[in-house]
Amino acid sequence: MGKKRVYTLARELHMSSKQLITKANKKGIHIKNHMATLDSKQESQVRHAVKASRNSKPANNHKSNNHHGNNRNNQHRVNNHKSNVNKSNQHSHNGNNHNNNHKSNASKFVHRPKSYSNQNGNNNYHRHNNKKRRRWNRRHNRNNNRYSTNQRIRQIHKHNHAPRRKARPLPKTLYYTVGMNAQDIGKILHRAPAEIVKKLIDLGIMVNQNKSLGKDTIELLAVAYHIKAKEKKQVNISDIDKMFKKEINNKKHLVPRPPVITIMGHVDHGKTTLLDYLRHSHVAAHEAGGITQDIGAYQIKEKGKTITFLDTPGHAAFSAMRARGARITDLVVLVVAADDGVMPQTVEAIDHAKAAKTPIIVAINKIDKPGANPKKVTNQLTRYGLIPEKWGGNTIFVNISAKLGTNVKELLDMIILKAEVMELKANPKQNAAGSVIESKLDKGKGPVASVLVQEGTMHIEDPIVVGDTFGRVRTMTNENGKPLKSAGPSTPVEITGLSSVPEAGDRFVVFDHEKDARAAGEQRAEQAQMERRKQDNTVTLSNLFSTMKKNDMKKVNLIIKADVQGSVEAIDSSLKDIKVKGVLVSIVHSGVGAINESDVTLAQATNAIVLGFNVRPTPQAKIQAENYKVDIRLYDVIYDLIDEVKSAMKGKLAPKYKEVVTGDADVRQLYKASAVGTIAGCMVTKGYIGNGTRIHLIRDNKVVYTGKLASLKRFKNDAKEVKQGFECGMTIEDYNDIKVGDVIEAYTMKAIPRK
């Protein structure tokens, strides 16, 4: 007891241990280091010494510390800040203060230099110190000290509750356009965008200030503000198709444009070789497996005229474009190998081109081959309505060898001639509009789209809406990867800068302002989502009659696929024989083989129903048909097929199916068997239960499960049927959670003919 460490005492006295030791040593009290202990006598001696030194005149201190006029004491500790402050003031008096630590120490403490008037009556000194104090205050932002804490609290309170500037009154009606965002609406309502956002969030609509708002949202907002809402009458910027038509129909400044050609035909008939020859490059040699991989688009020059070629990987892509309303091809060059003749995909190509009302030029290829028989091929093609001019028809036929280049020039001449007859024109001076040929997500570049400019001229930095997405044209390159600044009508280019990947066949339109492009893009994305949900526009056999009536349909489009050509022909002619007043049956495409994706896209493009006889859709076609709600009907009796189509056209729709209950059984006991799961011991209380029947499991008058019986047994034997009043054991397929007291209701599906 009574012993104290040096550093503890130093702290109590607000000084460093070193200072304390120096002072003590001066008074003859020997202290070794700051860890030394002092007894009570030593402690009181040290305290005395320190007190005495503090009571001595400042001049003394001054002297002791600052005789050299060069105090570089950077070591001030937190504990001795008081003496530091004093010291610094004293030093500054000396006009030579280098105490850099002062600032940091002072900022940690609230002590301010005190007035020295009590120490020195000198006016100058006083004024100097006041100046110093003001500087201190300024530097340390301590002017608040002029106020007491209470004063400051009152000030804050006053500030918070200061009467706000009165908000400007709301307009009586909110005149809006769809696609406005919270900022736009805030301006109209004289409210901060943040307030609008908050209001929307309160309404359960999560948005930010920049998000374009739909009609419903804006009207809801108006209701929340107790004001009316009225949509401003103006062109709906989201309606790309309308804009596209407007641009297309813009007849001002029309100038001739290059024709856009699609090369179509059966696999290996020489599409790529022809294109390759035209470009004098070697695309075919580089292609993986020799099969065309991408939709390429290329331009070539012949006799000073430009021709744009699209090389499609298949007819499905062509129809997919058409399905989205894109009419990008002016002419189809149908390549048919002279040694192979008309093949299924040749027919498919003809049907796709016809459905798109695109003229066809036939190129009979590989005439250099030994087995080539162009005449035979021409003959075959006449069956599909392609009759050469010299035989009295109006289709241009050219016999070529893509490999050797034989007659390729003639083919080009014919293309140019046909294009001239078609008077293809466009206005390069308007905003660009066109279609997507191909698109992908590139790791480095982001969404990339190959587009065909059909109208106007596209420029770098153009704000653009493509399908359901939007962006700014960041980069633009031609088919050889050369950067372009602008691209006129019929020019294929690859662009980047879109916010997401569009689809082949999507249309694009350039806008004047990015804001409008964004609003239109966002709105179209919303619309697309809604449409995907609805999908009620497609014709099915069951809605055929009502759709025909509703849309005043004069034609029923059908696609027929069958196992053998004989069946195709039989179905084809029988269907054409159906006579329903004012309605025509149109077979868009018929062929042998499974229902494939190409059939589904063609059906989608032409709003056709697919009829399959003894064939099934491929898994991909099935998925696609489900996605696009294309109606695929499968038959194994020709008569049924014809009859159903006839009935549907006459409004005698396909029968509806109805559940017919055959019997009920009460679950009385349960047995668990590891092999089969839960066996329900039942009593048939009504009707009969058939083996493998469809059932509803009913608990408390609610259907808890719908499925099928997995087994039905009487004692240990399988039963075909168990009648009312008999006991039986049942298991349900994929279901074990049966409970005593449940009712198993057996039913069948019965066709109910429609009236």
Ligand X SMILES: Nc1nc2c(ncn2[C@@H]2O[C@H](COP(=O)(O)OP(=O)(O)OP(=O)(O)O)[C@@H](O)[C@H]2O)c(=O)[nH]1
Residue 151 token pair: 């004063």
Asked if residue 432 binds ligand X (CB under 6 A), the reply is no
Q: Is 369 in the site for ligand X (CB under 6 A)?
A: yes
Candidate list 23, 269, 354, 696; residue touching ligand X; CB under 6 A: 269
Residue 281 binds ligand X (CB under 6 A): no
| From 200, 317, 402, 464, residue interacting with ligand X (rule: CB under 6 A) | 402
Q: Does 284 bind ligand X (CB under 6 A)?
A: yes
Paired strand residues for 202:
none
Query: Which token pair is 734?
Result: 């994929």
Residue partners of 132: CB distance under 8 A and separation at least 6: 89, 92, 113
Select 13 or 317, whichever has its Cβ closest to ligand X.
317
Binding residues are: 265-272, 311-315, 365-368
Which residue number, 367 or 632, has a Cβ lying nearer to ligand X?
367
User: Counting contacts by CB under 6 A, is residue 368 touching ligand X?
Assistant: yes
User: Kind of pairing, strands 555-562 and 609-613?
Assistant: parallel
Q: Does 290 bind ligand X (CB under 6 A)?
A: yes
Burial of 74 (0-12, 13-18, 19+ CB in 10 A): exposed
Per CB under 6 A, does 571 bind ligand X?
A: no
Cβ partners under 8 Å of residue 211, min gap 6: 181, 182, 522
Nearer to ligand X, 276 or 351 (CB): 276
117, amino acid identity:
S
Q: Is-contact 242 310, C-beta < 8 A?
A: no
Q: Report the run of H or E that residue 35 belongs to, with start and end.
A: none
- DSSP string for residues in 396-412: EEEE-BTTTTBTHHHHH
* Residue 409 lies near ligand X (rule: CB under 6 A): no
Among 365, 430, 431, 693, the residue binding ligand X under the rule CB under 6 A is: 365
Please state the closest distance from residue 411 (CB atom) to ligand X, in A.
12
Quote the tokens at residue 475: 């980069």
Six token digits for residue 98: 């280098």
Closest approach, Cβ 335 to ligand X, in A, equals 6
Judged by CB under 6 A, the residue of 66, 129, 273, 399 near ligand X is 273
Question: Which range in 183-191, 265-273, 381-389, 508-516 contacts ligand X by CB under 6 A?
Answer: 265-273
CB of 389 to ligand X, least distance (A): 23
**Contact status: 652 vs ligand X (CB under 6 A):** no
* Residue 403 interacts with ligand X (CB under 6 A): yes or no: yes
Contact between 76 and ligand X by CB under 6 A: the answer reads no
Cβ–Cβ under 8 Å, residues 501 and 465: no
- Euclidean distance between CA atoms 293 and 718, whole angstroms: 57
Radius of gyration of the chain (CA): 45
Give yes or no for residue 405 binding ligand X (CB under 6 A). no
Report the candidate in 86, 92, 50, 54 with the shortest Cα–Cα distance to residue 71. Answer: 92
The answer to whether residue 272 forms part of the interface with ligand X (CB under 6 A) is yes
Q: How do strand 694-699 and strand 677-690 relate by DSSP bridges?
A: unpaired
Q: Is 366 left (phi over 0), alpha (psi -120 to 50) or beta?
A: left
Distance CA 348, CA 317 (A): 12
Which of 153, 167, 201, 267 touches ligand X (CB under 6 A)?
Answer: 267
By the 8 A CB rule, do 332 and 262 touch?
Answer: yes
Which segments are annotated as binding site for GTP? 265-272, 311-315, 365-368
CB count in 10 Å sphere of residue 478:
16
CB 745 within 8 A of CB 751: no
Residue nearer to ligand X on the CB measure, 284 or 437: 284
Out of 42, 395, 401, 427, the only residue in the binding site for ligand X (CB under 6 A) is 401
Q: Is 271 in the site for ligand X (CB under 6 A)?
A: yes
302 to 341: interface string for ligand X, x by CB under 6 A: ----------------------------------------
User: What one-letter code names the amino acid at 234?
Assistant: Q
23/366 with CB nearer ligand X: 366
- From the CB of 396, what's the least distance to ligand X, in Å? 18
Q: Which of 268, 514, 516, 666 binds ligand X (CB under 6 A)?
A: 268
362 binds ligand X (CB under 6 A): no
State yes or no: residue 291 binds ligand X (CB under 6 A).
Answer: yes
Please tell me the count of residues contacting ligand X according to CB under 6 A: 19
480 burial type by CB count under 10 A (0-12 exposed, 13-18 middle, 19+ buried): exposed
- 747 neighbors 688 (Cβ within 8 angstroms): no
Nearer to ligand X, 270 or 428 (CB): 270
Give min distance, CB of 333 to ligand X, in A: 11
Stretch that binds ligand X, among 163-171, 233-241, 261-269, 629-637 (CB under 6 A): 261-269
Residues from 196 through 225 that contact ligand X (CB under 6 A): none
Residues that bind ligand X (CB under 6 A): 265, 267-273, 284, 290-292, 365-366, 368-369, 401-403
